[in-house]
């Protein structure tokens, strides 16, 4: 890893003990194990944030989507739908 930085991390003894068990099982070192765990955490956080943004977008468009579903599509409905989508962005 040519582009790496060393950091100091403080862990509770129990967590370090569990980490060492994983390191022994996986035949890797602590750094590799911690790096993999951090990568998984970052990916998971990004997924949670995206899911929340999608949820907010769907909720902001819910009323208009209900009107479109109840009235049926026409040219004006699609125009207002597109305007609503661009405002939500």
User: Is 24 among the domain residues?
Assistant: yes
Give me the number of domains the chain comprises.
1
Whether pTM exceeds 0.85:
no
User: Is 54 among the domain residues?
Assistant: yes
Give the range of the structural domain holding residue 43, as residue numbers without chain letter: 13-88
Looking at per-residue pLDDT, the higher value among 63 and 10 belongs to 10
- pLDDT tens-digit profile of 19-60? 999 999 999 999 999 999 999 999 999 999 999 999 998 888
User: Is 71 among the domain residues?
Assistant: yes
Looking at the chain, how many residues does it have?
89
Average pLDDT, the chain: 86
């Amino acid at each position: 890893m040519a582009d790496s930085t060393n950091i100091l991390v403080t862990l509770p003894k129990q967590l370090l003990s569990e980490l060492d068990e994983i390191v022994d099982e996986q035949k890797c070192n602590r750094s590799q194990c911690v790096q993999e765990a951090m990568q998984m955490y970052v990916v998971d956080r990004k997924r949670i944030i995206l899911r929340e943004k999608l949820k907010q977008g769907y909720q902001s468009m819910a009323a208009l989507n209900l009107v479109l579903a109840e009235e049926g599509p026409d040219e004006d409905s699609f125009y207002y739908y597109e305007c609503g989508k661009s405002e939500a962005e």
